[in-house]
Amino acid sequence: MRPLLALVLSILTAAVAGAVAVTAPQGTVEVFARGELVDVLALFQVAGIEVKFAPAAGSYSAVNADHQVQFTPGGTLAVVDGRLLALPGPVRTLDRHTVATVASAALLLAPFDWTLTASAAGLILSRGVTGDRLELSVVHAEDGATIVIAGSAKRPRVVATAGAVTLQYPGPIMLAQPWPPGPEVTSAEVQDVSLVLRLAAGLEVASSYPLEDPIRFVIKLGKPQAQGQVASARGSATVVLDPGHGGEDQGAKGPGGELEKDLTLQIARVAAAKLQGAGVTVRLTRDGDEAIALQHRTALANRLQAVVFVSIHANASVAKGAKGAETYFMNADASDQQAAASAARENATAGADTVELILWDLAHVANLNASARLARTLQERLNALQGIRDRGIRQAPFVVLTGATMPAALVEVGFLSNPDEATRLLTTEYQTELAIALADAVIEYLKTPSPATPTAPQP
């Protein structure tokens, strides 16, 4: 009899140890669990959220009327309403159950406004009605500040306006505690699903990005660039030249360790002098060996309402034979245009900030033709130089071009990774030839009236 008793007891112990009590609004249920891992599909069922397995994608899809979350057994990534979410631990298959750590399961349930928390008695699955509790902190820096926002795994859309930055979250939010006015962030308040931060005078958003472990969202604030060099001609339109890279970002390297950042600055300075001599107002995004965020470079041009933005670079390739000059302008693929148009329709009654954002998007698209003409003019002038290989004009989503609200192009004057071309690129004579070709192209572009140059919105 004793062996039978032991067997039954062990079965029962396994059954109890393999489950966790989940307290949900409708009552308490037992859900498969093993150590830190809990059956995530069972939790979705308790929450009343449908989960389907898509064999072709190898992933599960949890869907309700408003949200969709996809996750893959064996993976640590999930797609939440089209945005990627890194999970603290993988979703796994265990004893025919699809399991995840409580922390990962909580993140998968959060988009549906369900909160999963651990308690002494097991797990509590509750309907979140208060929204994510955002914790704000500001790190001061000599040239600006960094705002760190913890408490939400959702990635907000960042809308920078004069004197403020608005973070639009996909779901409800609240501030963990009231924000006392500080030297950089003068106020912080929640308006609907947006967090509005008012900034001290002289500060603007330089960049924003999410961080993990723990999950945070970071906004870097910077001071607008001090007035650059180069004289101005009375009342003329401003051209912004952007010497690529700078500071710690050295760019490509030549065979002898020569740096792209030095080459681009030299070419930009000579081109600026030539333009200035022709009566064109010119600003450089940097006039020294400084690291400047890509967004900051176009922000300067946007703020000055520049009519032309040219970013100057030297190239490098994994292919040793690659040589020649090429010019890029931004590509806005069809989906971007559709997104801008549909956003405009959906937000016809939205506030001024939203409208400004849409105008901004539309300005990008409207500038495509002018940017293509600018790129073509630059490339033709470079092609006229002796012995240069024409690599043509191309389109790619360069960060420094997508932020510009005026016709913009990025020139790659040649390959520092090609020893022969590098030798030529590093001579003062050739640098001057390249600079004058670029300046002449800008002058030619400015002289030819554009058929439909749109007005960029006020930054």
Partner 1 sequence: MKALRPLLAAGLLVIGVLAVIVLARMPRISAPPDDTPSGAPTPTATAGTIVLYFVADDGSLRREGREVPEVPAATPALIRLVLDELLTGSREGLTSPFPWATNVQAVLVDDQGTAYVDLSPPPAEDPPTGSNVETTLVYAIVDSITANCRGIERVQLLFGGREIETLGHLDLSRPIAAGADLVTP
For residue 457, say if its preceding peptide bond is cis, omega within 30 degrees of 0.
no
Indicate if the alpha-carbon torsion angle 373, 375, 381, 385 is positive or negative. negative
Question: Which structure tokens are listed for 14?
Answer: 């396994």
For 97, phi then psi, to 5°, come to -115, 145
Of 237 and 372, CB closest to partner 1: 372
Are 72 and 91 in contact by the 8 Å Cβ rule? The answer is: yes
- Least distance CB 44 / partner 1 (angstroms): 9
Q: What is the DSSP letter of 232?
A: -
Question: Which structure tokens are listed for 278?
Answer: 């022709």
- Least distance CB 285 / partner 1 (angstroms): 15
- Least distance CB 194 / partner 1 (angstroms): 21
Are 173 and 152 in contact by the 8 Å Cβ rule? The answer is: yes
How many whole angstroms from its chain centre is CA 388? 35
With left for phi above 0 and alpha for psi between -120 and 50, is residue 300 left, alpha or beta? alpha
- Least distance CB 446 / partner 1 (angstroms): 26
- Least distance CB 254 / partner 1 (angstroms): 11
Of 55 and 449, CB closest to partner 1: 55
Of 29 and 175, CB closest to partner 1: 29
- Least distance CB 210 / partner 1 (angstroms): 7
Question: Which structure tokens are listed for 83?
Answer: 């945005």
- Least distance CB 56 / partner 1 (angstroms): 6
How many whole angstroms from its chain centre is CA 193? 20
- Least distance CB 437 / partner 1 (angstroms): 19
The 10 Å Cβ neighbour count of residue 351 is: 11
For the chain, the straight-line distance linking the first and the last C-alpha, in angstroms and rounded, comes to 84
Of 179 and 398, CB closest to partner 1: 398
Of 61 and 450, CB closest to partner 1: 61
Of 112 and 179, CB closest to partner 1: 112
Question: Which structure tokens are listed for 387?
Answer: 């012995």
Judged by DSSP in three states, 6 sits in helix
- Least distance CB 392 / partner 1 (angstroms): 9
CA gap 255, 259 in Å, rounded: 10
The 10 Å Cβ neighbour count of residue 422 is: 22
Of 63 and 237, CB closest to partner 1: 63
CA gap 405, 407 in Å, rounded: 7
